Every structure is written in C-alpha cells, then in structure tokens.
Structure 1
Amino acid sequence: MTLLDLTPRSVRGDRLTTLPVVIIGAGPIGLAAAANLVEREIDFTVLEAGSRAAASIRLWGHTRLFSPWRHLIDPASRRLLEAAGWSAPADEGRAPTGQQLVDDYLAPLADLDTIRSRMRFSTRVVAVSREGMDRTRTAGRDTTPFLLRVEKPDGQIEELTARAVIDASGTYTSPNPLSSSGLDLLGAADVADLVMHALPDVLGADRSRFASKRTTVVGAGHSAANTLIALAELARTGPGTRVTWLIRNASAVRVSSSPEDELADRARLGSRVDQLVESGAITKIDSFEISRVTRHRDGIRLGGRRRGEPATHDCDVVVNATGFRPDLSMLREIRLSLDEIVEAPSRLAPLIDPNLHSCETVSPHGFDELRHPEPGFFIVGMKSYGRAPTFLLATGYEQVRSVVAWLDDDMRAATEVQLTLPATGVCSTDLTGGGSCCS
C-alpha cells in the first residue's frame, strides 16, 4: 500500500476489524477523535500519559486562549455532550482560559461513559510498530496489527495491538531549545533549575520564581507575549522585578496587533506588548542568536552573537518560549513521510510552512494530507503541524472528523473537508522584517 492508496479496509480483509483504534493523548483533539469514533460505533482506546484528561492544558490553564467558544468545541463532541444534558458556554465576551476550557468542556467530555470507559490514564506510549515487523518489512504490512509498547502507572511495560493509531499527543512537553541553531544549548544542563517552560503562572503558582528577579523571555510568539504581559504586571506591583524580551530576529512578526486579525484577543495581546515595550516596562533585545549559557553569580549568562558581533546577556531567570517540536522518538519503527523543514506530514507542510504561509487561512485538509506510508497511522492536532506555529483547535477537529470517516470506509465524508478559520491579519513570510503582508 502506498501513500496514495485509497483502498478501504473492508476490501483488504477483516483481520483488523476486531481490534480497537488507539488514540494517543487525551487533549482536545484526542477527545474529539474519541467522540467521532463513538458516533460511528468504532471501538477505541485512549492512552493518556497524564493522570487526567487535558493534562498539558492544565499546566497552562491560567492562560487565556485567542478563540471564542464557537471555535473551541468539536461538533461531534458537542452532539454527545448535549445528548447528555450539557449546555455550551455562552459565546460572548472574552475567550476562555485554558482552565475554563477544561472545566466547562473537556472534563465533561472525558467523563461521558462512552469515552471514560475507554480511557487509560498515567499510561505512556514508549514505541509504536507493527506486530512482528520492523519498518523494513513490507509484505502483509497493511493487514498486520499495530503494536504499541506502553508504560503502565506501576512502571510495568505492556504491549497492545490496534487496527489503527491516531497520534494526538501534542507538542507542549517537547519545547524547542534556546539555541538559535536548534541544537541543545551548550551548558543547558548546568542551569536547568533557572530555565522555566513556556507559559509559567507568573501571577499565581510561580510568582515567587519571578518576584524581584531579572527575567528574560526568549521567543517571538504568543506564548512569549502572554508571559511578558504577566511579568510586566508583576513588575508594576512589586519592586525589583525587571523584564527583558530577547528574540533572534529583527522583529517579532508573529506577535501581531494587526487590525485585520479576526481574533480580537490575539490582536489585543500584540497591542499590549507593543505598548509595554514603548513605555519601557519591557526591554526588548532583537537580533540576538544564543549559542551557550553559563551560571553567572546567582543567575544566568546567555552568550552568542548580536548583529554579527559577540554578545552576552545576564539575568536571574529565563523563560523558554521558543516554540515546540514533535517528539518522534516513539515512532522510529513507523514509516513516516515528513517534510524536511517543519516535520509535518509532507502533503500538509506546504499549507502551513511559516516560510511560505501567507495571510490567507489554512486550506481545508483531512486524512489525505495527513497520510503516511504506514497504512492506518495518522498524526493529528498540534503534532501534525510539526514546528509550524499556526495551529488552531478547529483545524484539529476537522482533521479527526475526516480521519475517522476514512477509518469507517466513508470516503464521501472523509474527502468532503470543509474548514473556515479566522484570518490572522499577519503573515510570517519575512521573518527578519516587520509589518504585515495584508496591508
């Protein structure tokens, strides 16, 4: 079977039909895949590394999303929830926080009996392969069950089989390194206790880590902007707190305050950062390429080059908001077709590559753009975007709707992909310049 083979499973034999589809990850996209499988009466199992559904979102639950509720609820999930007596939150005012998304939508969805009964928490997928086959064997591959090796809550290893695998494990736990080269930062292990993950709870649980400290936020996207705004508020209310924003390019075009942005909360985010930089509440350092880090007194010294010259920058704490990349280590025995630039499925990559992406919304895409040479294996959600930063939940919901229709041999539904996303008003085709290509 090749990447373009559209042969339904029913034609290839029914050996796999007695096995469940395995979903890796119980975030919003994994749960949406589960809801679509419930509606089509296809058996499935959800494997979640965390102890609860939406474990990663709970880590940044204090952060407000960009999208209003109408873009955050999967249609199949809505139907299941409403049938159980649930009412959608009012789609008015500001977008919800991550925790509100969990409390008002994802937790009730995961608690539906048709989904909860198929969930396994604190279960980490170590590797995915084919039963009795490594990636080099071809004969009979498309009729051989998938084999998933998992680590159970007690640390024991177990192997499961599946008819298909939907990898919705996300990327939040695999951040990009601080170095501009993309390699692990020289000296990083020596200062690990002074480097924070993206989207820390600056004004809440993590406040003591930043109060009266010199904090440098590294990154040019919206995660960085959220943290910068919170740090500026902390500095306003408490003495001694200083905030620096460090980016590798000449400008941060992804943090936009464009009037063309249809998501008001996203536009407000960029506008607020601009104001804080102009007022001096945030010190901005551009064109700084980090290559190494060392302990310096009680803090960190970032070393590298700025505009071609050697440069250093000292601070007490660093927030790594440089974005995320997919963890592909568990997929070594799976035949993948990934773009060499963004590590997204090769047919999806041209639609989302930040070197090419324009102001127009992402083109509709489904199972066909997400295919790999491995029949029945799909990467969906944020992980399907590889290193591209433009993912929205509505995109993932349409992905899994199409994938599940394909698994059900419903080619008409699988190929009739429709997606309407809000325009950004900004593009990232010129990562060293400023402004918007929409003007």
Structure 2
Amino acid sequence: MSEPLPVIVIGAGPVGLAAAAHLRERDLPARVLEQGATAGAAVRDWGHVRLFSPWSELVDPAARRLLEPTGWAAPDPERYPTGAGWAADYLQPLADALGVVEYDARVTGVARAGRDLVVDAGRDDAPYAVHVATPGGAEVVAARAVVDASGTWSTANPLGADGYPALGEVEHADRIAYRIPDLADPAARDRYAGKHVVVAGTGASAKTVLVALAALAQEAPGTRVSWLVRRPGLGHTFGGGAEDQLAARGALGDRARAAAQSDLVTTRTGFRAARVEADGDRLAVVAEDGQRVGQVDEVVVTTGFRPDLGFLSEVRLDLDPALQAPTRLAPLIDPNVHSCGTVYPHGAAELAQPEAGLYVVGMKSYGRAPTFLALTGFEQVRSVAATLAGDHEDAARVELVLPETGVCGGAGLFDEEESAASGGCCAPAQGEVLTVGSSRC
C-alpha cells in the first residue's frame, strides 16, 4: 500500500507552523516548504519591532501541546516579545519539534498534476503538483492538499497612490525603504539622523516610524519628518487610545499623535503621491494635485502589503476583486466598511477555493486588507486541519472575536472626512468570547 500524499504547507511563519501542528494532531502527513533559511524568516526581518500582544496570545494551542513534552519553556505570558524574540523562542523551536520543515525551498507554482488552469477532465481527482526551487535544483512535489501560508511580506505596496510605483520611484530606490527602520542599528541611524525624511502611510507601521523618528529628532539636530497622508483628514488615524482592547496598540496611537502634533513632524493630508524626482542632490515627492514636498533625503513607504498570486496562476481561485481575499471572507474584513477590528467567526468554509483541498490562510487570506492578527490565523488552520481530516463538525466550530480598536467607521474613505461618514458598523457579534491577538507590526 502506497504512502498517503502529504499536505503541503507553504511558509514556516506563525500560521504555517501552526497548520503543521494541527495537521500532526490529526495524523495527517505534512511538509512545510520555507523559502528562507530559518523558521519565521519574514518575522526576523522585522525582528526589532515589538508586537502588540503578550506571549499568552502568540502561541497556537496545538503548537503548545507539541512543544511542552520537549522541555520547551513557555515565555512569560504577560510579556510582549519583539519579532526576533517570537522567532527565536517559539517559531524555531516549533519548527525543530515538527521536523517537517524544508528550508531554502521556494514554491514557484501550484497546479493539478498534468492539468493547467483550463482543463476540466479529471481535475478534482488529480493530486496537486507543487513546483519548488531548491539549492539542489527544481522539483515537483505531489500533494493531497495545499495550505498557502506564505504571507505578504515580500510584496510591499508602492508609494504611488494608484497602486503602481510612482514615476521615478524605481529610479530613486536607493533612497526609498519599505520597512520600519531599526534605528538601534548604527548604519540605519546614520541614514536618517539629521535628515529630512518623508513617511507615507497611516497604519501601525507608519505610526511606529513616526514615533521612532521623532525620538531620533530629539537626539539628532536637523532631523525632520514630513508625513504624507492620502486621506483628506486624520480622522480616526490614531485609533481609540485607552478604548483599544489591545493596550499596546492604543498606546502606539497616542504616542504617534503626540509625535504628529510636535514641531518635528509636518503632516500633509490629501497627498496622493504621483512622482519622485530629483531636487538638486536630494529628492522631491509630488502629489497628483501638484502638492510638492522638496529637499527630501529619505523616504519610508509604509502603505501596506499585497498577496503574491503569481505561483497560483494555474489553480482556480475565488477571490474578491478589490481585496484579493477569499470572496466569502472579504465582506468581513473590508477596510472600506470595517475599522473596529471585529471579524466574525470564519474558518475553512470561508477560506476554501474552487480547487478542493486548497486553502489560503494567515496574512495572505486578508489579501490587501490590514489588521490581521495571529489568533485569526491559529483559528483558521485549526478549522482547515479539521476539514482535511473529515471532521466537519469540529471545523465549523469556529470562535473568534478580535480586539476592537475603540473606534468605528470605514477606514478606506477617499474624499470624505472619516468623522462625517463614521457609523456603528462594527458592533461585536453576540455570544462570542473576546480574545486578544497579535499583529505583525
């Protein structure tokens, strides 16, 4: 009797490793393919950033059950780790305990064996063919199912307001960063100290950068910040403060508000970037309406991320046309409607694709929507593993409420002030238990 085909999990991040732990509890063979050299490679890239949630909300239950017999010492549940701490103290030990993670294995394509996107005949019965690039060469792995937990870290959104790089953005890439700089690193500190820095974006990453640069400006004379905001006003940009059920997130908003109101930061609202051009030996950023910020030394773009769908081009997907998230999940997370952080229970049923056995989970499941929390992913993969094991009753038993930000209203408004259009869109569902999760930054 031949061995059963494995479930292929793409990505050894928090959600991918949790998926493998749940699959193991269901006695389903799995292989985790990670393009990096370590577990949590993407998390390590922002290792200097502290998470919003304590350790008590950053460890998947199945992962904990797997780790505890190995002698793993659970971190203090009340402490808030950095990304580096999360990777070193949890993700790598989990990957080691699982023993099924293959590093330097980049998935380049997912298909049905012998069938491209068009072919119907025999499609549902064909195994998956997962194309993988490794240091030893390319290979194709057969799989019974695929769980895509590859995240969105490698595909940051550009500065350009229309979703494409602004004119000149590529040409001036040496002065443009798309990640939160680690100002504790001497090289990064030298790059920004005493400089005019443009920060674009309004999410948690942008607020983190504002706070860090404002602190740097107090120590390094000449450091100043221009904050570019696409919306016509700041509205609920800083969140709910003390009303935020993630205390650290609320505190970040308060600190960012203080930074923005200081003399160190100049805020430009209604600024939809169209061009980056030379301004002598420096740069200028120009908006669609002609607004111009000149004599710029560095630009930090924190405008979010998007999913890489390229390696899924030969499988059939059902994604929302705007968010690029699974169609049944999209209405629950659409930032044009929701900003409270309340997401109604969802699992395998909402994540399933037209190809039986294919699931997009974790940060990638949110497509272009922000505010994904780790506990969301843990619950997603618990449900997916139950479905793959044929336990549909357990798969449907999904309980999830995300911590509210303390404000309600659409977050994607284009031409209106948020305060004029806010409504009670995000009342929590009845009968659900509040849990506190984590975001990636």
- TM-score of the two chains, using structure 2 as the length reference: 0.91
Is the contact made by 1:426 and 1:437 (CA closer than 8 Å) also made in structure 2?
Answer: no
Is the contact made by 2:341 and 2:402 (CA closer than 8 Å) also made in structure 1?
Answer: no
- Give the 3-state SS of the residue equivalent to 1:423 in structure 2: coil
The match for 2:290 among 310, 314, 320 is: 310
Report the Cα distance in structure 1 between the residues aligned to 2:261 and 2:170, rounded to whole angstroms.
35
**One-letter amino acid of the counterpart of residue 274, structure 1:** R
The match for 1:106 among 68, 72, 91 is: 91
Report the Cα distance in structure 2 between the residues aligned to 1:417 and 1:316, rounded to whole angstroms.
49
Is the contact made by 1:22 and 1:162 (CA closer than 8 Å) also made in structure 2?
Answer: yes
Q: 1:198 to 1:56 in 2, by over 3 A?
A: same
Residues 31-430 of structure 1: pairs in structure 2 closer than 5 A: 31-93=17-79, 95-112=80-97, 115-116=98-99, 118-154=100-136, 156-204=137-185, 206-252=188-234, 253-305=236-288, 309-314=289-294, 315-359=296-340, 361-429=342-410
The residue aligned with 1:3 is: none
Report the Cα distance in structure 2 between the residues aligned to 1:91 and 1:359, rounded to whole angstroms.
25
Deviations 1:213-266 (A, max 9, x none): 111110010000111111111111112211221111123434314332111100
- Give the 3-state SS of the residue equivalent to 2:243 in structure 1: coil
- Give the 3-state SS of the residue equivalent to 1:77 in structure 2: helix
**One-letter amino acid of the counterpart of residue 379, structure 2:** E
Deviations 1:35-62 (A, max 9, x none): 1111112111111111111011101111
- Give the 3-state SS of the residue equivalent to 1:276 in structure 2: helix
**One-letter amino acid of the counterpart of residue 276, structure 1:** A
Is 1:22 the equivalent of 2:8?
Answer: yes
Report the Cα distance in structure 1 between the residues aligned to 2:169 and 2:107, rounded to whole angstroms.
27
Q: Mean Cα displacement is larger for which, 214-223 or 355-364?
A: 355-364
Q: 1:180 to 1:369 in 2, by over 3 A?
A: same
- Give the 3-state SS of the residue equivalent to 1:267 in structure 2: helix
The residue aligned with 2:417 is: 433
Report the Cα distance in structure 2 between the residues aligned to 1:89 and 1:422, rounded to whole angstroms.
22
Is the contact made by 2:275 and 2:286 (CA closer than 8 Å) also made in structure 1?
Answer: yes
Query: C-alpha displacement at 1:382, in angstroms?
Result: 0.3
Is the contact made by 2:11 and 2:149 (CA closer than 8 Å) also made in structure 1?
Answer: yes
Q: 1:91 to 1:331 in 2, by over 3 A?
A: same
Q: Mean Cα displacement is larger for which, 29-38 or 195-204?
A: 195-204
Query: C-alpha displacement at 1:360, in angstroms?
Result: 6.0
**One-letter amino acid of the counterpart of residue 278, structure 1:** Q
Report the Cα distance in structure 2 between the residues aligned to 1:437 and 1:83, rounded to whole angstroms.
49
- Give the 3-state SS of the residue equivalent to 2:267 in structure 1: strand
Report the Cα distance in structure 2 between the residues aligned to 1:255 and 1:107, rounded to whole angstroms.
34
Q: Percent identity?
A: 49
Report the Cα distance in structure 1 between the residues aligned to 2:237 and 2:361, rounded to whole angstroms.
23
**Structure 2 unaligned blocks of 5 or more:** 428-441
Is the contact made by 1:22 and 1:166 (CA closer than 8 Å) also made in structure 2?
Answer: yes
Deviations 1:313-353 (A, max 9, x none): 12111111000000111111110000011110000000000
Q: Mean Cα displacement is larger for which, 120-129 or 426-435?
A: 426-435
Query: C-alpha displacement at 1:210, in angstroms?
Result: 0.9
Is the contact made by 2:56 and 2:78 (CA closer than 8 Å) also made in structure 1?
Answer: no
Query: C-alpha displacement at 1:77, in angstroms?
Result: 0.5
**One-letter amino acid of the counterpart of residue 362, structure 2:** G
Query: C-alpha displacement at 1:74, in angstroms?
Result: 0.6
Q: 1:304 to 1:358 in 2, by over 3 A?
A: closer
- Give the 3-state SS of the residue equivalent to 1:63 in structure 2: coil
Q: Mean Cα displacement is larger for which, 253-262 or 132-141?
A: 253-262
Is the contact made by 1:250 and 1:287 (CA closer than 8 Å) also made in structure 2?
Answer: yes
**One-letter amino acid of the counterpart of residue 391, structure 1:** F
Q: Mean Cα displacement is larger for which, 30-39 or 429-438?
A: 429-438
Q: 1:271 to 1:88 in 2, by over 3 A?
A: same
**Structure 1 unaligned blocks of 5 or more:** 1-13
Query: C-alpha displacement at 1:33, in angstroms?
Result: 0.4
Is the contact made by 2:242 and 2:251 (CA closer than 8 Å) also made in structure 1?
Answer: no
**One-letter amino acid of the counterpart of residue 148, structure 1:** V
